[in-house]
Amino acid sequence: PPMKPLLLACTLAVAFSAIAADKPNSTKVTGTVLTPKTVKDYAGLTLELRLYEYHPFIADKPADLVAKLNLKDYAHKAGKETKTKITIGEAGKIMPGMSYYLTCFVIDAKTKRYLMGEKDGKRGLCKVLTGGNPNKVNLILRDLRK
């Protein structure tokens, strides 16, 4: 019988460490980047995601880069969906009063943009983390090539 409280303590410790793994004010954003099957083939490009922090009330202050994720040799074949799981910003900490957004592009070695990722395929800034914005996103790539 003295094992019961110990077991409970261990279970709680495990539960708490699992919670601590995802720090409550971490800038970590996860999700997927999707290239629709209607998009023409591409290969040898780089999927680049950037997480920025900005002050919502100071217009002339540039946004600061919090984290960057580059996946090289990124490719896609028309007729088939290409889906990639992403995680960015695990090391950062949400700063009080700041706002965050994510950019997502498929670029070449000269950083020319070929495709652009948009939250749920909607145009506009992909806001994340604060102000009721998600820490999990579904980015749909839109072809910028003519």
**Per-residue confidence (pLDDT) for residue 17, from 0 to 100:** 45
Tokens of 78: 């028309």
Confidence category of residue 86, pLDDT binned at 50, 70, 90: very high
Token pair of 80, please? 């088939």
Enumerate the domain spans of the chain: 25-143
**In angstroms, rounded to a whole number, what is the distance separating the alpha carbons of residues 67 and 86?**
12
Q: Averaged over 5-20, what is the pLDDT?
A: 49
Q: Please report, as a single letter, which amino acid is at residue 29.
A: V
CATH 1.10.150 fits 25-143, yes or no: no
First to last CA, the chain: 72
CA proximity to 104, closest of 93, 118, 90? 118
Checking if the pLDDT of 123 tops 50, the result is yes
Which residues have a Cβ under 8 Å from the Cβ of 133 and sit 6 or more positions away? 100, 127
Q: What is the pTM of this model?
A: 0.82
Tell whether the model's pLDDT for residue 3 goes beyond 90. no
pLDDT category of residue 18 using cuts at 50, 70 and 90: very low
